[in-house]
Amino acid sequence: MGMTMTQKILAKKAGLESVVEGQLIRAKLDMVLGNDITSPVAINEFEKNGFTGVFDKTKISLVMDHFTPNKDIKAAKQCQQCRNFADKYDILNYYDVGNVGIEHALLPEKGLVIAGDCVIGADSHTCTYGALGAFSTGVGSTDMAAGMATGEAWFKVPSAIKFNLTGKLNKWVSGKDVILHIIGMIGVDGALYQSMEFTGEGLKTLSMDDRLCMANMAIEAGAKNGIFEVDDVTLAYIKEHSDRTPEIFKADADAKYSRVIDIDLSEIKPTVSFPHLPENTKTIDEAEKLNIKIDQVVIGSCTNGRYSDLETAAKIVKGKKVAKGVRAIVIPATQKIYLEALKNGLLETFVEAGMVVSAPTCGPCLGGHMGILAPNERAVSTTNRNFVGRMGDTSSEVYLASPAVAAASAIKGYISGEFE
């Protein structure tokens, strides 16, 4: 029986000729990732179990991105523990204030993950790297500890859903709208412990940023991972960012899928996810009719803090002012993106529009800092989750949207699709 892209990678990393869904395997890892929240727990487990060394100092990444710059003493202690661990074991990929970025934007930018890799991270959105043709998934901190020590992890081989993409996105429509549309279609458990595998003619029309965004939110459909078929777009990105040679795994013609879903990209409209689940979606024309007044807008995160996201937002707000009573926060995902946006005048455009620009951080996405919501406040955010209390008080509301919708809403003061 044929294998899917994910199954082929897992078979290779497990040293097996083939695998089938449901099979338990032990696979070799190409990268183990942790951040300032999850790494301290992993470090404690690492030490408690008596490990005295890491499997490969070049294949571990510790990224201080969630509560940095440190928001309080506890956050400072967490980063200190990670810093000491990185120093002790000479971990090369340690990133802190000044050279940090939001982890899932930073690792692709640094070329630390490429096609064919097997990656675990103690963060649920580690599935982002499937955009590059890698198998990547989130794990608990205990699995991270074991991965750092042994370079291996246990997996149950997932079944897969095939998404056949056709057509081309219309103006102001992005990968964020595509993945929200899909989650709205199949639900937050629609791909539970499955691989979401993206292929088809429409793939070539999606930028790498679109793909990174879509793979990032596979977990919001319950998926084990999301993965894109490697094409010229993928290979060009990898060549630009890494000197490693990618390994390409294509699904077999007779690969088994639990279902095949056809998506015509040209039919997708800007989409908004209403509280309190990502599956609660409405198209922008439906959302606008409800006249939902907002208090805050956040443009950033591992989902939508890349340069193209900021560029889209800047085009919409240029020469305009943020609506009275709206706080608009822009968070470039990495230092490199921040610098590029600075050089090209995007940050000036944001500030002149009455927006505030933050240093790279996850910040408000998880209710950490840099934009916490008060009781009954509403935010349009380019982040990936809108659960109860996700960004602040339990009575607050988060509406997930693309950078275009977020920027338009900041200017209007209501959820808006007025892009020009």
Which domain CATH number covers 282? 3.30.499.10
| Residue 307 lies in domain | 272-412
Mean pLDDT of the chain: 96
Number of compact structural domains in the chain: 2
- Asked whether the beta carbons of 382 and 400 are under 8 A apart, the reply is yes
Domain end (from 216, 247, 265): 265
Judge if 239 and 355 occupy the same domain: no
Count of residues in the chain? 420
For residues 204 and 287, membership in a common domain is answered with no
Domain assignment present for 419: no
Say if residue 188 is in the same domain as residue 228: yes
> What does the pLDDT look like over 237-268, one tens digit per residue?
999 999 999 999 999 999 999 999 999 999 99
Return the pLDDT at 61.
98
User: Is 51 part of a structural domain of the chain?
Assistant: yes
Burial of residue 331 (number of CB atoms within 10 Å: 0-12, 13-18, 19+)? buried
In a shared domain, residues 258 and 283: no
pLDDT of residue 420: 85
Boundary residue ending a domain (265, 296, 324): 265
Q: Do 29 and 150 lie in a common domain? A: yes
Residue 380 falls within a domain, yes or no? yes
| 364 and 236 co-located in one domain | no
Same domain, 187 and 300: no
Q: What is the pLDDT of residues 38-77, one digit of tens each?
A: 999 999 999 999 999 999 999 999 999 999 999 999 999 9
Contact call for residues 373 and 379 (beta carbons, < 8 A): yes
Residue 38, Cα to own-chain centre: how many angstroms? 16
Q: In angstroms, rounded to a whole number, what is the distance separating the alpha carbons of residues 133 and 200?
A: 14
pLDDT value at 2 more than 90: yes
Whether the per-residue pLDDT at 1 is higher than 90: the answer is: no
- Of the residues 232, 265, 298, the one at which a domain ends: 265
Q: Which two tokens stand for residue 29?
A: 């890892």
In this prediction, residue 103 has a pLDDT band, given cuts at 50, 70 and 90, of very high
**Do 66 and 183 share a domain, yes or no?**
yes
Read off the tokens for 396. 């607050």
Query: How far is residue 307's CA from residue 209's CA, in Å, rounded to a whole number?
Result: 9
Q: Rounding to the nearest 10 degrees, give the CA dihedral for residues 245, 115, 203, 122.
A: -150
So what's the pLDDT on residue 407? 98
Structure tokens at 249: 């795994």
Burial of 188 (0-12, 13-18, 19+ CB in 10 A): middle
Together in a domain, 257 and 320: no
219 and 199 within one domain? yes
pTM (two decimals): 0.95
197 shares a domain with 339: no
Closest CA to 297 of 371, 209, 210: 371
Residues whose CB is less than 8 angstroms from the CB of residue 197 and which lie 6 or more positions away in sequence, other chains included: 4, 5, 6, 160, 161, 162, 163, 226, 227, 228, 229, 251, 257
Q: Which pLDDT belongs to residue 384?
A: 94
pLDDT tens, residue by residue, 284-310: 999 999 999 999 999 999 999 999 999
Amino acid at 352: E
Q: Do 45 and 164 share a domain, yes or no?
A: yes
